[in-house]
Amino acid sequence: MTQTDKLDLSVQIGSLTLPNPVGVASGTFGYGEEYAPLLDVNTLGALYTKAVTLEPRAGNPAPRLADTPAGMLNSIGLANPGMEAFITDKLPFLRTLGCPVIVNVAGSTEDDYALVVERLGSEDGLGGYEINISCPNVAHGGMAFGTDPALVERLVKRLVSIRDRAPGAASRRPVIVKLSPNVTDIGLIARAAEAGGADALSCINTLVGMVIDTKRKRPVLARGTGGLSGPAVLPVGVAVVYKVSRAVAIPVIGLGGISCADDALQYLLAGAVAVQVGTAIFSRPETPLEVLGGIRDFMEREGVSEVRCIRELL
Amino acid sequence: MKRFDARITALRSVATGYRELRYEWPADLPPPSPGRFFTVRAGGRYDPVLRRPFAFSAWSPGGAGEPAEASFIFQVRGRGTRYLAELDTGDTIDVLGPLGTGFGKPRRGSRPVLVAGGIGLGPMLYLANALSIDARDGLCEAPVLALGFRTASLIPDVAMPEGTVICTDDGSAGYRGTVTGWLEGYDPGAPPYLYACGPSAMMAAVGAMAAARRAPYEAALEQWMACGVGACAGCAVRLRTGQYIKACVDGPVYDGNLVDWGAML
């Protein structure tokens, strides 16, 4: 029997140590402040911010959401206040948190990504970058980057070299690349990101989907398609993590459809070192903490003292 | 704001396809003001994943051993509302609230004109009752509540303020025609202060009237929501400037004269 206080829940992502493996996924948790009244943000393993782009983005036309069987579609379109407003208005609160903050970075061009990573390199209080090359809901950039291995390697290489030149501790922040499942061979993209120097990968972003209103005879979302998330995508994400974690040597962070500890454990057994809870937060904001509790219970039950060893059980 | 499990104290049918649900309000939460809303998990643990937003239709403080109580009226329309309709008194619902920005007060001396279409009547009933008290205190003229329905069988069996105007598209009760049709011929006798909640076409028509009369217009917006707390930007509503607001935190009550109603149709 393993004692709870002896459990080692920490996770290493490059030079960054996460206190535990359960983070909250980009786009579902805003910039932390929104959900702070509903759960103790400090107890999270990591907070992945809503995407930040160089310039402010209004986002896509409404409606942006649709209800689907055991899931939802979103077409937010990376709505965000832009890098400078993020630094001025959002970062001060994020700096007060006890959990690592990983900024999700998105862009339309390689320069967009580069300028954001460069600028954030001179700001303290950040744990790392999650490079979003997998957003399915924008016309330029986003998923277009994440489906071409040569582009992925070049972009990641450039961002890593910018990161390396940052002052002080910022030069050691991990660059995590968030991958799209909307590709023929995700292993190919994963290896390209690894070759570019990525410290870790996040799998998966949402799957492209559409809901049609049969009364009005038109798609529910103004943009037509959106990204599918929620319990419905869980087995897709688990399969991707299983594949990708065997294709690369860098750590893989699993996300997609996690609603309870058992879902998260599937990812950890499949080969993920950490997980992110996303859509389930909308339904039950306390889900990340319940997931963490369930992982602890599992480790005690199975006699596993280090969370990083869970994958060895498969 | 908090998430809590609330006991249902009453659930009854109030019209064809319409229900009123009342639930216990936690003693440690302030009363929700009219126009604010809450979300409820309407189903199992996994499905549907999106909580359903509803505006409060009433709130009572309880007392004498009775708990405070919040009410809302909903139409049984999809799987979330079907789930709610099948619950019983004594069952619990998972509530997140109170959320959002509610109605503001009318200008002194103005006539509050409250326009509702279909299920939009919930928040308007709550507002009308609050403004009746303000009118008695001399803060505004007596409010007028105008409700539009397709037909008489859809008019909810709920207490309505004296002088409530009923409109039906088919003329089966009250004024024959749309509520905005009625509004066109209405003389408020004082500068009107418009409030509305209902289908987009009705909201747009009230918007056109507000612009023509240069009247203030507080619109209660309806939009699908995911988080309800301003985190996801899913419930965006377009303004005439091309900018978007979040219905959940900037609204649901927002200046109707600024909303791009064309984009809502």
pLDDT tens-digit profile of B105-125?
999 999 999 999 989 999 999
A88-97 contacts, C-beta under 8 A, 24 or more apart = A90/A31, A90/A32, A90/A33, A90/A49, A91/A123, A91/A125, A91/A126, A93/A31, A93/A32, A93/A33, A94/A31, A94/A32, A94/A47, A94/A49, A94/A125, A94/A126, A95/A124, A95/A125, A97/A32, A97/A41, A97/A42, A97/A47
Contact B203, B256 (CB under 8 A): yes
Mean pLDDT along residues A37-49:
96
At residue B119, what are phi and psi to the nearest 5 degrees? -70, -10
Which chain A residues are closer than 8 Å to B78 by Cβ?
Answer: 67
At residue A5, what are phi and psi to the nearest 5 degrees? -75, -10
Residue among B46, B229, B236 whose CB faces A62 most closely: B236
Task: Say which residue the tokens 């004692």 belong to.
Answer: A3
DSSP letter assigned to residue B90: T
- Among A99, A135, A260, A309, the active-site one is A135
Compare all CA atoms of chain B with the CA of A216 and give the residue at the minimum distance. Answer: B265
* pLDDT over 70 (residue A2): no
Q: Is A36 on the interface with B (CB under 8 A)?
A: no
What secondary structure, in 3-state letters, does chain A show? CCCHHHCECCEEECCEEECCCEEECCCCCCCCCCCCCCCCHHHCCEEECCCECCCCECCCCCCCEEEECCEEEECCCCCECCHHHHHHHHHHHHHCCCCCEEEEECCCCHHHHHHHHHHHCCCCCCCEEEEECCCCCCCCCCHHHHCCHHHHHHHHHHHHHHHHCCCHHHHHCCEEEECCCCCCCHHHHHHHHHHCCCCEEEECCCEEEECEECCCCEECCCCCEEEEECHHHHHHHHHHHHHHHHHCCCCEEEECCCCCHHHHHHHHHHCCCEEEECCHHHHCCCHHHHHHHHHHHHHHHHCCCEHHHHHHHC
Residue among A38, A64, A283 whose CB faces B51 most closely: A283
User: What is the enclosing helix (H) or strand (E) of B245?
Assistant: strand B244-246
Which domains does chain B possess? 2-99 (2.40.30.10), 111-264 (3.40.50.80)
**pLDDT band per the 50, 70, 90 thresholds, residue A146:** confident
Residue among A30, A58, A283 whose CB faces B230 most closely: A30
pLDDT tens, position by position, B197-227: 999 999 999 999 999 999 999 999 999 999 9
Residue among A44, A49, A57, A65 with most chain B CBs within 10 A, to mutate: A65
pLDDT tens, position by position, A46-73: 999 999 999 999 999 999 999 999 999 9
A77 alpha carbon, distance to own chain's centre: 16
Distance CA B22, CA B235 (A): 26
User: For chain A, what is the mean pLDDT?
Assistant: 95
Task: Say which residue the tokens 């079907």 belong to.
Answer: B82
Compare all CA atoms of chain A with the CA of B263 and give the residue at the minimum distance. Answer: A62
What pLDDT, on a 0 to 100 scale, did the predictor assign at position A4?
A: 56
User: What is the enclosing helix (H) or strand (E) of B168?
Assistant: strand B165-168
Which chain B residues are closer than 8 Å to A62 by Cβ?
Answer: 223, 235-238, 244, 263-264
* pLDDT over 80 (residue A144): no
B220 is written with which tokens? 């209660």
At residue B115, what are phi and psi to the nearest 5 degrees? -115, 130
Q: Is B95 on the interface with A (CB under 8 A)?
A: no
Instruction: Judge: A282–B237 Cβ closer than 8 Å, yes or no.
Output: no
Distance CA B223, CA B218 (A): 16
Pick from A265-269, B40-44, B98-102: least confident: B40-44
Instruction: Judge: B224–A74 Cβ closer than 8 Å, yes or no.
Output: no
Instruction: Judge: A34–B51 Cβ closer than 8 Å, yes or no.
Output: no
What pLDDT, on a 0 to 100 scale, did the predictor assign at position A10?
A: 97
For the stretch A77-111, what's the b/e string if a residue is b when 16 or more beta carbons lie within 10 angstroms of its beta carbon?
A: bbbbbebeebbeebbeebeebebbbbbbbbbbeee
Q: Is A71 on the interface with B (CB under 8 A)?
A: yes
What pLDDT, on a 0 to 100 scale, did the predictor assign at position B179?
A: 96
Residue among B49, B226, B227 whose CB faces A70 most closely: B49
Structure ipTM = 0.93
> CA nearest A261: which of A235, A299, A308?
A299
CA distance B22 to chain A (A): 21
A309 is catalytic: no
A202 is written with which tokens? 């996040």
pLDDT tens, position by position, B20-75: 999 999 999 999 999 999 999 998 877 899 999 999 999 999 888 889 999 999 99
B125 is written with which tokens? 């009933």
pTM assigned to the model: 0.95
What pLDDT, on a 0 to 100 scale, did the predictor assign at position B3?
A: 95
* pLDDT over 90 (residue A171): yes
Q: For the domain A4-56+81-206+233-313, what is the CATH code? A: 3.20.20.70
Mean pLDDT along residues A221-232:
97
- Provide CB contacts within 8 A for A179, sequence distance 6+: A133, A134, A146, A186, A189, A190, A193, A201, A202, A203, A204, A205, A240, A244
Which chain B residues are closer than 8 Å to A61 by Cβ?
Answer: 238, 263
Compare all CA atoms of chain A with the CA of B264 and give the residue at the minimum distance. Answer: A62
Which chain B residues are closer than 8 Å to A260 by Cβ?
Answer: 45
Q: Is A35 on the interface with B (CB under 8 A)?
A: yes
How many Cα neighbours within 13 Å face the side chain of B168?
Answer: 11
Q: Is B68 on the interface with A (CB under 8 A)?
A: no
* pLDDT over 90 (residue A24): yes
Which chain B residues are closer than 8 Å to A63 by Cβ?
Answer: 223-224
Contact B23, B5 (CB under 8 A): no
Contact A75, A64 (CB under 8 A): yes
Distance CA A106, CA B116 (A): 42
What pLDDT, on a 0 to 100 scale, did the predictor assign at position A1?
A: 47
Instruction: Judge: B227–A30 Cβ closer than 8 Å, yes or no.
Output: yes
Residue among A38, A50, A71 whose CB faces B3 most closely: A38
Distance CA B87, CA B72 (A): 14
What pLDDT, on a 0 to 100 scale, did the predictor assign at position B265?
A: 82
CA distance B94 to chain A (A): 9
**pLDDT band per the 50, 70, 90 thresholds, residue B153:** very high
Percent pLDDT > 90 in chain B is 94
Compare all CA atoms of chain A with the CA of B80 and give the residue at the minimum distance. Answer: A67
